[in-house]
A and B are shown apart, each in its own frame.
Chain A
Amino acid sequence: MLSKMIKLFMVLTIFAVVSNAGKYDKQAEKDRKALVKYFEAKFEDPEKNRNQFFPYSTDKELKENITKGLKHHDFAIGNYAFSKQGKVQYDEIKEMPPYEEFIEKGEDIYKNSEALKKCFPDTKIGGNYPYFDDKTGKVVTLSVAINDCVVKAGEEKLNLKKGKITHIEAYFADQTKQADKNMDIKINSKKAQQAYERGKKYYYSQRGYLKLSCASCHVQGAGQRVRNESLSQLLGHATHFPVYRLKWGAKSKTSDGLGTLERRMEGCIKDEGQVPPKADSKEMRELLYFMAYMSNGMKIDGPDIRK
């Protein structure tokens, strides 16, 4: 009798914990699903729906250069998902992309670092970051986690945007990709939920002298152009880091055109006309937390090529 009661109690407790865990990401899930629905509707038939979604595009480009019928997982490759002429070049460069040697460099660094091996015994963790650390009450991004790990072991701190950290991240991303894993960000507490909400608020707030929010370009504006730049969509933005940008590769002396998500976001926010938050600041971390959550369920496909 007593054992039966204990069993029932355990079942009820587990049920309560599980259902509780489910409640903190309820709003985030709603947001994410709404986003998927929006983009699928937007790119279903751009020519037909031009008045609703593409009021400024020309007939020619809607007919010739925009791919239609896109679904959730198609959006992982940025504007190459819908821009036909960009996709041709993307495919060509992906045949033998310039970042392969840096995956190997990252593997080398990892295998020779006792600290990294201890902090990251499982290398297939690309989809688990950023996460909310309940103990410290902070969001931890992968860049921050790697840097904290090596600094704690007495090594020199790393630049969170480029250089050695991107090689390590390239290795982790590639390992995660090969294991076919998805972005899997969790919101398991009230504090985490609040961090997510703050990140979301940052994303949708207008800023800078142009009064642009991230969403102006990457939600409402996605699929349209700013001069010659085809604006990419928020969905899938966080899956492919570290990213090899052709423009970074062109100017870098070491051919290492790689950058972390922090580096990319810094550039974006500068374009909005505002001084960007520092790479390990609360604002940046929470922004990345929100962005990564929006890509939940999508395959980790880093490193990847972008313009």
Chain B
Amino acid sequence: MAGKTRIKAKEKDGVVTVMALAKHPMHSSIEAKKLKVKQNFITHLTAQVDGKIVYEISSSQFFSKDPFLKFKYKGKKGDKITIKWVDILGGTNSSDGIAK
């Protein structure tokens, strides 16, 4: 149902910089009213490596459509980064990326 999250991750000097572009309409209430759809937006998103959470955000309707997130964490090349989110209507998505 949900599109996958695009993930780009690069390691340098022990710090991995991750850029992610999730696929989601992120309607503001005004937009939802205009489009005549049920308002939907991601409410919570985490990035995990080896079962440990390296990034966590509680979000709102005020993110841009197809939310972009960039963050850093202390890690290494080859790390498998799993980004999971849940939205206000109960939709979910889990996508993976590898730190290069």
- Measuring CB to CB, which residues of chain A are less than 8 angstroms from any residue of chain B? 95-96, 98, 100-101, 249-250, 253, 255
Give min CB distance, A118 to chain B, whole Å: 31
Residue pair B66, A95 in contact (C-beta under 8 Å): no
Q: What's the A-B contact tally at a CB cutoff of 8 Å?
A: 23
Residue pair A98, B66 in contact (C-beta under 8 Å): yes
Report the count of interface residues on B (CB-CB < 8 A): 13
Residues on A with C-beta less than 8 A from B25 are: 255
Residues on B with C-beta less than 8 A from A98 are: 21, 66
Most B-side CB within 10 Å, residue of A96, A101, A255: A96
Residue pair A96, B35 in contact (C-beta under 8 Å): no
Could you give, for residues 3-27 of chain B, a 1 whenever the CB lies within 8 Å of some chain A CB and a 0 otherwise?
Answer: 1001010000000000111010100
Say yes or no: is B38 at the interface (Cβ < 8 Å to chain A).
Answer: no
> Do A96 and B65 form a contact, CB below 8 Å, given A101-B6, A253-B35?
no
- Residues 59-91 of B contacting A (Cβ, < 8 Å): 65-66, 68, 70
Residue pair A96, B21 in contact (C-beta under 8 Å): yes
Give min CB distance, A127 to chain B, whole Å: 27
> Do A250 and B70 form a contact, CB below 8 Å, given A96-B6, A98-B21, A101-B6?
no
- Pairs A-B, 7 closest by C-beta atoms: A96-B19, A96-B21, A255-B66, A255-B65, A96-B68, A95-B19, A98-B66
Residues on B with C-beta less than 8 A from A255 are: 23, 25, 65-66
Residues on A with C-beta less than 8 A from B70 are: 95-96
Q: Can you report 23 residue pairs joining A to B where beta carbons are below 8 Å apart?
A: A95-B19, A95-B70, A96-B6, A96-B8, A96-B19, A96-B20, A96-B21, A96-B68, A96-B70, A98-B21, A98-B66, A100-B6, A100-B21, A101-B3, A101-B6, A101-B23, A249-B65, A250-B65, A253-B35, A255-B23, A255-B25, A255-B65, A255-B66
Cα distance, A249 to B66, chains bound together (Å): 10
Residues on B with C-beta less than 8 A from A253 are: 35
Residues on B with C-beta less than 8 A from A95 are: 19, 70
